[in-house]
Amino acid sequence: MGAESAVKVAGKEPGDKLVLLLIAGSGMLAQFLSLVAGIIVARMVGVEGRGQVVMVGVLAQMASQLTLGGSLPNAISKELATHGLRARDGLRGLVGRWVLWGCLAATAAGIAMLLNEGPGITPEVVALAIGTGLMALNGMTARILVSSMLGEGADGLAIALTGLLPQLAAALVLGGALALGVDWGPVEIVAVMLFAQSLVLAFRFRALAPSRGRDVQPLDRSELARLARRTHIGSVGPLDGLSLDRALVGALVGSVGLGLYSAAVALGSLATMLGGIVAMVALPRIAAAQAAGGTEERSVVRRWLVLAAILMVGSAAVFMAANPFAIPILFGEEFRGAIACGYWCVAASAFLAFRRVLIAVLQGRGRGGFASWAELALTPFVVLAALLGNLFDDVEYVGMGMLGVGIASCVILGVAVRRLTPAPALARAAAPTGDATG
């Protein structure tokens, strides 16, 4: 890739700002629809039923993030952008092995759901376990497709619409069922979510750019695997990417505690979503700017960090103010016990979301290994937060612990972004392949 094209990808073109605006706008709307769907679920099945639905999502996300949905999508996005390749060319011949690993991880997620529900295995529990496995597969595929679209510089409108469709479909179907008085349980709700997710996967696959021909050299399998391994923990983000806090609350405090905690976390989900979007969009831009060389990379990093800080502070301020009345109005009076925890969770979500952008900066600079070590070092404190909630039988202590973890992660990664220089090997490695594939 030449310097001129790399700088364009790095964020200087007006179209790049439009991509971020479209993705962020659709993401905010999708998050709102997700919140609406969560409220509908809470009113249809109550605290315990919502806890079961949340546990399905948590275990599916955990299986996805620990395997194909973790560091591989970020590695794909970075390598496609660095080498100027399209996904259908760059990933040719690599998908078959991924399918096998994905099925194994999905099976493990389903078994975990069976074990979580206790010794009495009913047809409903089996159905939830199957839904967990299918949702894990959908999550892996979605992450890879979105990263592929971003890496090849796909149309921002296509990315925005495909991110919005599943939440819109789920909210409409669940809302219609509630309005008609349909008596759905957790199994039917999970089935609706699976249908909506599968729908969007088809649209995302069709949105990928067409191949340039069989003569285009695909990405090197060993190099892609090496990059994914080196940045795996940082990409997974075990502090919040695995929903480890929710899984531990469900296991230690129970479904009722998980239902309350998930309502509190829902208020901070906008910051989480915005942080993930900024990180996904920024990573290939920073990698391309680094490949171009010069001083452009630092100014690109500065712009993304300032933008992320503004978004995180703004979203946290809004939901902190709305917390006292939002939870009982949206979820119902039985969720009023989540209000105190909600303050801590909103603040924690803002810090944890900003750390996602810091991780993307380090990965774009070829320093993702440091982010992985930092995540690994702080993960035991997430477990400690859940243990405190279990000890005092109050999920508010979990929120306090997560805020401490979020602040610590931002401090550590912020110092690293300031002190660690970009890896000099990236520009040298990128130039020959990019020029060849043009």
User: Apex CA 404: angle with CA 399 and CA 408, to 5°?
Assistant: 145
Number of domains in the chain: 1
Amino acid 19: pLDDT: 59
What DSSP designation does 208 have?
Answer: S
* Domain boundaries, position 66: 3-437
Burial of 310 (0-12, 13-18, 19+ CB in 10 A): exposed
**pLDDT by residue for the chain (438 residues), tens digit each?**
333 333 333 344 445 555 566 666 666 676 677 767 777 777 777 766 777 777 888 888 888 888 887 778 888 888 887 778 888 888 887 787 788 888 898 999 888 888 877 677 788 888 888 999 999 998 888 888 888 887 877 666 666 666 667 777 777 777 787 777 777 878 888 888 888 788 778 878 877 878 887 888 888 778 888 888 877 777 677 777 667 788 788 778 777 787 788 888 887 777 777 787 788 777 777 777 776 655 677 888 888 898 889 888 988 888 888 888 888 887 777 788 888 888 999 999 999 999 999 998 888 787 888 888 888 899 899 989 889 888 888 888 999 999 999 999 999 999 998 887 776 654 444 444 433 333
Phi and psi at 222, nearest 5°, equal -70, -40
- Note every long-range contact of 202-205, with CB atoms under 8 Å and residues 24 or more positions apart, other chains counting: 203/161, 203/162, 203/165, 204/142, 204/145, 204/146, 204/149, 204/162, 205/145
Spatial contact of 139 and 61, defined as CB atoms under 8 Å apart: yes
